[in-house]
Structure 1
Amino acid sequence: MTKVTYKIVQHDGGWAYQVDGVFSETFESHDVARRAAERAAKEQVVAGNTTGISYEDKDGHWHEELSKGDDRPETDVKG
C-alpha cells in the first residue's frame, strides 16, 4: 500500500502543506494549513468510483492516470 505524508511547512509568507515536493495553496497560519492537510488526507482514503485523475509533480509536469476507486493510500499529517 502506498503511503502519502502531508507535511506542514512555511511557504510564500504563510503556511502550506507539501506532498512529494508539491505545495498546496498558502494559508495564514500553521493551524489552518494543518486542518486543510487533515481534511485532504481524510478525503484521499475514502473509496469511491474508478475515475481519471490529473496531478502536478514536483517538477511542474502534469500527469493523467486512471485511479481505481478501491485502491486508496494510507495517509499521515506531520508538522
Structure 2
Amino acid sequence: MTKVIYKIVEHDGGWAYRLGDVFSETFPTHSDALQAARIVAAEQQVGGEPEEISWQDASGKWHTEYSDGGDRPEAEVVDSDGDDQPSQRL
C-alpha cells in the first residue's frame, strides 16, 4: 500500500502542510494548518467508485487503467511545530 505523509511547516509568513515538494495554501496559524492537513489526510483515504483513469506520462504517452475505487493510500500527518515537542504522527 502507498503511504503519503503531510508535514506541517512554516511557509510564506505563516503555516502550511506539505506533501513532497508541494505546499498547501498558507494558513495564519499552526493550528489552522494542522486542522486542514488532518482533513485532507482523512479525505485522501476515502474510497470512490470504480472507474477508468487516463493519464499522460513524462514522454507524452497516454495510459488508461482501471481503478476499483478502494485502492487508497494510507495518509499520515507529521506535526513538528518547533516548540521542543516531539513530532506527532496523526
TM-score of the superposition, structure 1-length normalised?
0.77
CA shift in 2, pair 1:75/1:11, >3 Å: same
Q: Map residues 58-77 of structure 1 onto 2, 5 A cutoff.
A: 68=67, 69-77=69-77
1:3 partner letter: K
When Rg is computed on C-alpha atoms for both structures, the one with the higher figure is 2
2:4 partner letter: V
Unaligned runs of 5+ in 2: 56-63, 80-90
Larger relative contact order (Cα-Cα within 8 Å, sequence gap ≥ 6): 1
- Specify the alignment match of 1:57 in structure 2: none
Moved more, 44-53 or 31-40: 44-53
CA shift in 2, pair 1:51/1:78, >3 Å: farther
Unaligned runs of 5+ in 1: 55-64
**Cα offset for 1:41?**
0.2
Output the CA distance in 1 between the equivalents of 2:28 and 2:76.
Answer: 22
**Cα offset for 1:38?**
0.2
Total equivalences in the alignment:
69
Task: Compute the RMSD of aligned alpha carbons.
Answer: 2.2
- Specify the alignment match of 2:29 in structure 1: 29
CA shift in 2, pair 1:11/1:3, >3 Å: same
**Cα offset for 1:11?**
0.2
